[in-house]
Amino acid sequence: MGKIAQTEHPRILQLWRQGMHQRDIAARYDVSTITIYRIIRASNGGTTRGKHVPSPGYKMLWRLYITESYRQVDIAVRYGVSPTTVKRWLGKAGIVKSWEQRVHERRKVQPPDEDTLYTLYILDDLTAKVIGSRYGVSQSVVYRWLDEAELKKHKEATG
C-alpha cells in the first residue's frame, strides 16, 4: 500500500462526489479505504465532535443503505459523521439488512442457474471441486449453491 500525495486529494474528492465508492477509489490509489475516508472527512471540516448532525430521515437512509447499497462508512462521510452515528441512525429507523442481503452484496461470482448446476453435478458427474475451479470459487461455495438449488450431493444420492 502506498501513500497519497496532497496534490491528489482534490481528485479523490472529485471522484467521491461523482459517486465512486471509497473502496474503488482506494483500489485505484492502492491505499486502504480508511485512508480515503480520512481524506474525505478532513475535507468536510474534520471532526464532528460537539456538533449535532440530524439524521437524514428514514427514506433517505433506506435509499442509500438498502436500495443503493452504500456502506455505513460511505453514508458517514457523506454526512460528515462517524460510522457509529450512522449505525445509530439506522438502528433508530429500524433499517437492518438481512443476512441474505449482506451475503448477496459480498458475492462476486454469480452462481450458475439450477439447470446448469444439475447438468454439471448430476448429468456430467463433476465434483464440487471441479465445478468450483471452473467458476473460480471454493468447493464449499459450490456445496452452498447445491444446497440452495436443493440438489443432492453425490454421497447423499448414492448412499
Query: Taking the complete model, does pTM exceed 0.85, yes or no?
Result: no
pLDDT tens-digit series, residues 20-54: 888 889 999 999 988 888 888 887 665 434 457 78
Answer yes or no: are the C-beta atoms of 43 and 14 closer than 8 Å: no
Sign of CA dihedral 154, 156, 143, 100: positive
Phi, psi of 126 (to 5 degrees): -85, 150
CA distances from 159 to 28, 116, 145, 153 (A): 51, 24, 21, 10
pLDDT tens-digit series, residues 109-147: 778 899 999 999 888 888 989 988 888 788 888 998 898
